[in-house]
Amino acid sequence: MGRAEVLQGVRQMRFEGLLDRRERGELNQEEAGEMLGISERTFRGWRDRLRDEGRSGLIDRRIGKPSSRRAAREEILRMLGALSCWGFVRSAMPGSR
């Protein structure tokens, strides 16, 4: 289990605890969201996903997927090469020696 999965589990447990406190009337949604570092709207979204999909609804679907904004290695090397005339060191990228 990687770091992201562990942190996700911690986030789930904290959310479920705060949701329980919210349902008992100890907190409002804004306070619960603030304690998690998220907006009230995101808190409501998580609450709805938990209700509709169960615990699996809280799983971060981005974990394990590469970013759609990630540049290809060749593109990064091309840009570094183009910038080398300005004094940037090509070895700034790991594995490009």
| Dihedral pair phi/psi, residue 2, rounded to 5° | -85, 175
What's residue 94's pLDDT?
Answer: 57
Q: Tell me which long-range contacts 63-67 makes (C-beta under 8 A, separation of at least 24).
A: 63/4, 63/5, 63/8, 64/4
Q: What is the pLDDT of residue 90?
A: 52
Which segments of the chain does DSSP mark as H helices, in order? 3-23, 29-36, 40-53, 73-83
* Distance from C-alpha of 97 to C-alpha of 49, rounded to nearest angstrom: 47
CA separation, residue 96 to residues 35, 83, 85, 86 (Å)? 43, 14, 17, 18
pLDDT at 21: 95
Position 2 confidence tier, pLDDT thresholds 50, 70, 90:
confident
- Averaged over 2-21, what is the pLDDT? 87
Angle at 47 between CA 44 and CA 53, to 5 degrees: 135
Average pLDDT over residues 15-37: 93
Q: What percent of the chain has pLDDT over 70?
A: 88
The two tokens of residue 16 are 């479920």
More confident residue, 79 or 88: 79
Q: Mean of the per-residue pLDDT values for the chain?
A: 83
